[in-house]
Chains A and B, each alone.
Chain A
Amino acid sequence: MATDKKLCLSGRGVTKVFGIGRQKLTAVDHVDFDFHEGEIISIVGESGSGKTTLAKMLLGLLSSSEGEIYFQGQKRDIRSGRKRQEYWKNIQAIFQDPFSAYNTFHKIDTVLLDCIRMRGGKHLPQARKVELMEEACGFVNLKYAELTHKYPFELSGGQMQRLMIARIFLLKPKILVADEPTSMIDACSRATILDYLMKLRDETGMTLIFITHDIGLAYYVSDTVYIMERGRFVEHGSADSVILRPREPYTRRLISDVPKIHEPWDLSTVVFA
C-alpha cells in the first residue's frame, strides 16, 4: 500500500555526533528511512534515544554529521538562508511545550496573520484574511471572535496546542513534525489533539511525523511505526505489525511499560537502572 506512494522524505546513513574525542556521543547512528506522502509515521523510543535530534535534523535546525536527507527524491540543500526559508515552507513543527512556543508580546491575530503572510497572502483584502483565520480556528474548534484580542498566556495548554494546529492548517506544509505534542497536556485533551492531527492529514494530505515515547499514542495515530533505540532504528513496519507482533525485545519492553487496562501490567520485571 505504502510502496506505490511517492517518497516525501528519506534519509541514508543519517548520523549526528555531538562533541569530540573522549566526549564523543553519537546521538543518531546511521539511520535509513523512507517517509511516504500522506502517511503518519511515528518515531518511538525512550528518553535519550535520539528522537528529538533526528527531528531537528529533519527540520534543518541541526546539520547532520554524516549521511544525506532527500526531500521529494532530491538531495536536500539548505546551506543558504534563502534556501532554508524555502524549505521551511514545506516542513513545519509542533513542539512539546505549547507555553513557550508563542511570542508572549504578540496577540493571537498576529500569530495567525504571520502564517498567512508566509503563504504569500500579505496583500489579500482584510475580509479574506479574517475569513481564512476563522476557517483555521474553526478547524480546531476554537472561536476566532473570542481569540482575536487575546495574548497566548490567556489560553489553556490544550487551547494553545490546538492553535498550533490551526497555524499548521493555514501554512499547509507538506510535512509536519510533531515532537511529543501531547506530553504537556491533560490526558482528557489528548484525544482531541490527536484527532485534529489525523484530520489535518486527511484533509490536506500532509505527511505527519509523530515523535513520542508512549507507544500507545503511536499505535492510535500512525500508519507506520519506527522504533528507535540508542540512535538506531531497531524495528519498523506498519503499526499493527510492530505493536501487535513485535520482534525486538526492546519493542516488547516499550509495550510492556505502558499501563494497560484489559491486560495485567506486570511490575515484577522492572529492573532499577
Chain B
Amino acid sequence: MPNPILEVRDLTTRYITRYKESVYAVDHVSLKVEEGKTLGIAGESGCGKSTLALSLMGYYFPPLHYMGGEILIDGQNISGMKPDVVRKSILGREIAYIPQAAMNALNPTRKIIDFIGDVVRAHDPSWNRQMIYDHARKTFEMLGLPAEVLQKYPVELSGGMKQRTVIAVAVILSPKVLIADEPSSALDVTSQKMVIKMLRDMMESGFIKGMIFITHELPLLYNVADEIMVMYAGQIVEHATAKQAVFDPLHPYSKGLMGSIIVPESGLRDIKLTAIPGVPPNLKNPPAGCRFAERCQYARAVCRGTSVALSAADPNRLYRCVVPEAELRRLYQSGD
C-alpha cells in the first residue's frame, strides 16, 4: 500500500469571536490522501469546507486557532509550526492553495511574470530574472497556457484564463499537495472544463502528487474525485468512494444532497428534485446529539440525546449515524 501523501488525524480548529465565543468549524476531522488520488469535499455553504482547507495549510491567523490534531505532509508534521514559518517554507512547496475567487488574487498593476517573480523570490531570494522567466515559461507550456500570458496584465485575460493562470502560479514551485477550493464556481461550464482538464493533466503527469477538491457541485465532484467526503456543521458525516457517495449514499444528509443533482440527461425532467428543509445549526452552541437531527426526516429520540461517532460500513467507508446500515437502506427503499 502506498504511503499517504497527506494525512490528517483528529484535526480540530476553532474561531474565537469578539465576544470570546468559540466556533468549532473543523471538529475532529481525519483524512488521508494517497499518492495520485483526489479527495473531494462536499457540503453546503458554511459547513466548514473552506476553514478545513485553511487549517490543512497551517494557516492559523486570528480569529482562526489551532486546537489539536496532526497534519502530516509526506511524513512531515506541520501542525505545531508557526504560521509565518509555514508561509515561508511549507506553502507553495509542500502544499498549495487555490482560493475561491482566485481571479481576484492577481495584482492588477503588475504583469503576470512580475507576480510570479514575487512568489518565487519570497521562497528563495537567490533566483534571478532569467531563471524565473525560464522556469515560468516551462511550467506554463506544460500546463497548456501560452507563454505570452506572462507578459500580460490581468485585465487583458478572460475569466477562465485568469483562473488557470492563478493555478499555474500556485503550482510554480511544484508542491506535493494542491487544495482547490471551488476553483471553478465563478466560471462558465466551458472554462470550468478547461480548469478541470488542467488539474487532471497535472495529476496524471505527476506534477502534483495529491489533490483535495472542494466544491458543492456534486456532478463535478463525482467526475473529479476518487473519494468523496461529505461535511456537515464542521464534522465528516460520510466518507466513501465517489461512486458509492453519489449512487448509494448512507447518511441521510448525503442522501439529501444527492437529491439536488441537476444534469442534462434524459431522465432529469421526470425526477422531482428534493431539497433539504431548514438551515444548518449555529456552531456557537451546536446541538448535543446528531447535528443533522433537526433537519433529518428519519430522526428519532435517540438522535438528539448523545453525540454520534463515525461508524464503518466497510473498511473504506465511514458514516455518522446512529441507525445501522441495513436499516438505513430499508428506510430509503421504502421512501422512494
A residues with CB within 8 A of B: 46-48, 156-157, 185-192, 194-195, 213-220, 239-240, 243-244, 253-255, 257-263, 265, 267, 270, 272-273
A216–B260 Cα distance when bound, in Å, is: 12
Known: A186-B45, A220-B269. Is A191-B222 also a contact (CB below 8 A)? no
Known: A186-B216, A192-B275, A260-B263. Is A220-B268 also a contact (CB below 8 A)? yes
User: Which residues of chain B are near A157, meaning CB under 8 Å?
Assistant: 45
Contact B189 A270 (CB under 8 A): no
Give the interface segment out of B10-18, B80-88, B192-200, B308-316: B192-200
Known: A191-B273, A216-B268. Is A259-B219 also a contact (CB below 8 A)? yes
Task: Give A55 Cβ to nearest chain B Cβ, in Å.
Answer: 16
A94–B333 Cα distance when bound, in Å, is: 38
Chain B 209-249 near chain A by CB (<8 Å), digits 1 or 0? 00000001111101100000000000000000000001100
Contact A219 B45 (CB under 8 A): no
User: Which residues of chain A are near B196, meaning CB under 8 Å?
Assistant: 267
A270–B188 Cα distance when bound, in Å, is: 14
Contact B190 A219 (CB under 8 A): no
A220–B272 Cα distance when bound, in Å, is: 10
For the complex, is B262 an interface residue (Cβ under 8 Å from A)? yes
Q: Which residue of B lies closest to A262 (CB)?
A: B265
Contact B275 A263 (CB under 8 A): no
Known: A186-B44, A216-B263, A243-B264. Is A257-B193 also a contact (CB below 8 A)? yes
For the complex, is B266 an interface residue (Cβ under 8 Å from A)? yes
User: Can you offer 11 A-B residue contacts whose CB atoms are under 8 A?
Assistant: A46-B188, A46-B190, A156-B279, A186-B45, A188-B44, A213-B189, A219-B268, A258-B189, A259-B220, A267-B193, A272-B194
Most B-side CB within 10 Å, residue of A257, A259, A273: A259
Contact of A258 among B222, B256, B263 (CB under 8 A): B263
A218–B187 Cα distance when bound, in Å, is: 17
A195–B262 Cα distance when bound, in Å, is: 12
User: Which residues of chain A are near B144, meaning CB under 8 Å?
Assistant: 272
Known: A195-B273, A216-B268. Is A257-B219 also a contact (CB below 8 A)? no
